[in-house]
Amino acid sequence: MIAGQCRNPFFLLFLLVITLLPIKKGNAQSFTREEFKDSVQNLPYFTIHKDNYFITGVPTNTSITSNSANAKYQISFKQLITRNALPWDTYLFATYSQKAFWDVYQESFPFREINFNPSIGVGKAIFDKNDRLKGIGSINFEHESNGRDSIFSRSWNRLNVEYVTNFNYKIIVRGKLWLPFAYKEGNSDILNYRGLGEIQLSYEMKPNKLYFEVLLGKGLTWDTKGTFRPRIYYNPFEKNESNQYFMLEWYVGQAESLMDYQAFTSMVRIGYVIKSNELNFLKGK
């Protein structure tokens, strides 16, 4: 009942944000096929994948104590294995992400849970009829687990299809669908909370200064189980050469961690983030 009362306004907010976003193209231009190939050749093989962050905060749906407040951090990187050795201009990559929940307000600073998330996949840039960059697609195998055994073990595997494109040069949309397998033991109902996909929208409100992002996922059941995660990124520095921001995050829903994926969470956290820029190609030049 609590989840249902809290979530419905968030879905309405998500729809309102999409409706109000501007769709004007602006002055930026998409990369041509040759410009994209040249730029990829200059990329380092080892880069950031997802955001790397350390944030801390409190719940909004229960009392604030040393047990309910915590910190969350993520480390994520990507290794480009090949650039142009595969057919059809595809490339091979591997990623690794690690997300930890840390009870920093308790006396012994215990780690509540660590989730491990490696993947390997194949990516390809998609171009329109004018040979301008339209989006980036990928197919990858992904594993996620909490590294524990016995009754505390939580893990699942999935084959993902992902596509990222831009509405205009300020709005980037990422859609991800997955086919899960080998997940029945320990968390047989996880799809009721994670569903079969998610969508993420990122809006550049002020270049290299202010971003708004929202992630939305829906479980397979007809109720309101799922995820709503808005974020605001702000860069207070004169120069932002290292892509550093402060981030405000509100996580609402289930499945924030694997161990307690069935539990409803409403957490507001703030902290430091090194923002991923691997999709900057879609912002144009």
Please report where in the chains the tokens 């990187």 appear, as a residue.
77
From the number of C-beta atoms within 10 Å of its C-beta (0-12, 13-18, 19+), residue 44 rates as: exposed
Domains of the chain in sequence order: 2-283 (2.40.230.10)
Question: Strand pairing of 133-145 and 210-218?
Answer: unpaired
Per-residue pLDDT of the chain (285 residues), as tens digits, is: 334 444 444 555 555 555 545 544 455 688 888 888 888 888 899 999 999 999 999 999 999 999 999 999 999 999 999 987 788 889 999 999 999 999 999 989 999 999 999 999 999 999 999 999 999 999 999 999 998 877 788 999 999 999 999 988 889 999 999 999 988 778 899 999 999 999 999 999 998 899 999 999 999 999 989 999 999 999 988 776 678 999 999 999 999 999 999 999 999 999 999 999 888 888 876
Say how far apart CA 275 and CA 48 lie, in whole Å: 8
Q: Which amino acid is at 241?
A: E
Inter-residue contact 133 to 30 (CB < 8 Å): yes
From the number of C-beta atoms within 10 Å of its C-beta (0-12, 13-18, 19+), residue 223 rates as: exposed
**Predicted TM-score (pTM) of this structure:** 0.88
